[in-house]
Amino acid sequence: MKAIICTQYGSPDVLQLQEVAKPTPKDNEVLIRIHAATVTAGDCEIRSFKMLWFIWLPMRLYMGVRKPRKTILGQELAGEVEAVGKDVNRFSKGDQIFASTGMSFGAYAQYTCLPETAQDSEDGLLAVKPSNMTYEEAAAVPVGGMIALHFMRSAKIQHGEKVLIIGAGGTIGTYAVQLAKLFGADVTCVDSTQKLDMLRSIGADHVIDYTQADFTQNGVTYDVIFDIPGKSSFSRSLSRLNQNGRYLLANPGLLHMVRGAWISKSSRKKIVISATSEKSEDLTFLKELIEAGKIKAVIDRRYSLEQMVEAHEYVETGHKKGNITITVTHNKPA
């Protein structure tokens, strides 16, 4: 089978298209014929190994000190079940599925195997694909959708509350906007000029171009602030939070964690920095929302497996709107 192999850390050029052995499912696994995958900012961080210093060493020990142990990257996919292990009960050959691969990665290929039921963070999660989505659209749901769902639920949003989402135009943000609106919030989005029209189209009530204005200086306060990149001034952002407000951080630094714990204990403001715990029922819940027409995937560009280097280069520009998908083709049988 064809797969994108990453044998060293570095620029997108380290990604190489190669022929590798097709995997065989274990007794508790399904073999997935992959039709689509995605490229996220997280994928680029793993490939380049540019990440926060306090997680650099543990991640390096896990992933491989000198070179990656897991050479096929990619954290989300959509495809078709081609075969199942003898102990699999939930899925059958021919089922159309979408999945998060967890820390096992493996989506940058024509085939991969995943356990029917996840036991830990390595295993990933899979569910039947939303019936009203293409493979490319469905592949763009699991990672961003489940992270956004986790934080929007953690915020305990009440109808009519004002929610500010910083970095709203990316993988996580586009789902957070839609979920916050679904929960009844008045949503303000902060991002760059070229993403504002898209954000309005998915429900944003107000948009702020961070290249032209500073949301911390406009006098408006919010019940919930969701900072996805984690690059805004922590103190100035907190000043825009109401007394009983919730400040959510998807990518917290060490200082955020220390100060956040103190603020949560010493004031009525709550800092939420908890890691996402992926659950199969959350993926199913997102599927139901999608089939009901309540949320959708935002796709900026589509690339082929052979164009993986270009896809990674584009994601690293920081200009993507929503998601970048990878279409995985297969030779037709003779």
Cβ neighbours for 188, distance < 8 A, ≥ 6 positions apart: 162, 163, 164, 165, 204, 205, 206, 207, 208, 215, 220, 222
Mean pLDDT of the 258-278 span: 78
Give the model's pLDDT for residue 334: 43
pLDDT of residue 331: 84
329, pLDDT greater than 50: yes
Which H helix or E strand runs over 198? Answer: helix 196-201
Cα dihedral: 126, 132, 137, 140 (round 10): -40
Mean pLDDT value of segment 267-283: 82
- The residue assigned the tokens 């089922």 is 95
Q: Indicate yes or no: pTM above 0.75.
A: yes
Rounded-to-integer distance, Cα 290 and Cα 138, Å: 10
Weakest mean pLDDT among 75-84, 105-114, 197-206, 266-275: 266-275
Q: What is the mean pLDDT of residues 24-51?
A: 95
- If one counts every other C-beta atom within 10 angstroms of the C-beta of residue 269, the result is 17
Write down the pLDDT at residue 233: 86
Sign (positive or negative) of CA dihedral 21, 22, 24, 29 = positive
| Domains of the chain, each with CATH number or no CATH | 2-141+297-327 (3.90.180.10), 144-272 (3.40.50.720)
